[in-house]
Amino acid sequence: MARAIPTIPRKSASQKRSKATVETLLDATARVLVRQGYDRASTNRIAETAGVSVGSLYQYFPNKEALVAALVARHNRELLELVRHAVKKVASLDLATAMRELVRAAVDAHLVDPALHRIFAEQVPRMGQLAKIESLQQEAFLLMRSYLEEHGDEISVRDLDAATKICVTAVEALTHEFVINKPDALAGDRDRFIDEVTRLLMGYLMPGRVPDEQNRRRT
């Protein structure tokens, strides 16, 4: 059995200067990954790009894998903050408007450095970071379920756990496919994509009803 590669930082940054160094290293890791790919990235290249010695890098991270794991964790925190903000923003909105805004937020989140997002999708399973991704998905699930519970009188689906899982999975899968894997399909047609995914969600949550805004666009 292959020995597990450690992905835990050597030490946590507590001082302002050390935190700045760690952020610089993570930014450099992102640039190297996008330019050269995961397999060609190395601690030497990352240190050079960051403008620090490789010795300084090793004070915080034992290897490339630990750097990428920290970068994934930072990326997840940023995405989760976007999700929290989007759910808070739509809390008092009607279902159709809320679904459209949540789909829009998902698209915007995936459009933040899609090349890096693609590398994460490819490498995270290899690095054993799936638990962290699942934790992010679980919080997104809970936020979405909370919204649906508050608006239960607007939807036809009674099983809120199933409804939440289907909605979150559908939005993530479709957005990832078109933004990350097929970006040309989305070019210049972002609003139409958002409308179509919203229609899909509304067709499931409120069968037989098309959101008013989409009706107006079609007349």
Q: Which of 43, 40, 17 is nearest to 28 (CA)?
A: 43
In this predicted structure, the answer to whether residue 3 has a pLDDT above a threshold of 60 is: no
pTM recorded for the entire structure: 0.74
Distance CA(169)–CA(176), nearest Å, equals 10
Per-residue pLDDT at 135: 67
Work out the angle at residue 168's Cα, subtended by the Cα atoms of residues 73 and 174, and round it to the nearest 5 degrees.
Answer: 90
In this predicted structure, the answer to whether residue 8 has a pLDDT above a threshold of 60 is: no
User: What structural domains does the chain harbor?
Assistant: 11-62 (1.10.10.60), 71-218 (1.10.357.10)
Tally the residues of the chain. 219
Q: Kindly indicate the confidence band of residue 187, based on its pLDDT and cuts at 50, 70 and 90.
A: low
Which two three-digit tokens encode residue 97? 């408007």
Least confidently predicted of 4-8, 19-23, 111-115, 174-178:
4-8
Highest mean pLDDT, choosing among 42-51, 79-88, 176-185: 42-51
**What mean pLDDT value characterizes the chain?**
82
Per-residue pLDDT at 99: 94
Q: How distant, in Å, are the alpha carbons of 31, 34, 67, 94, 117 from that of 113?
A: 10, 9, 18, 31, 6
Q: Which of 137, 133, 121 is nearest to 176 (CA)?
A: 121
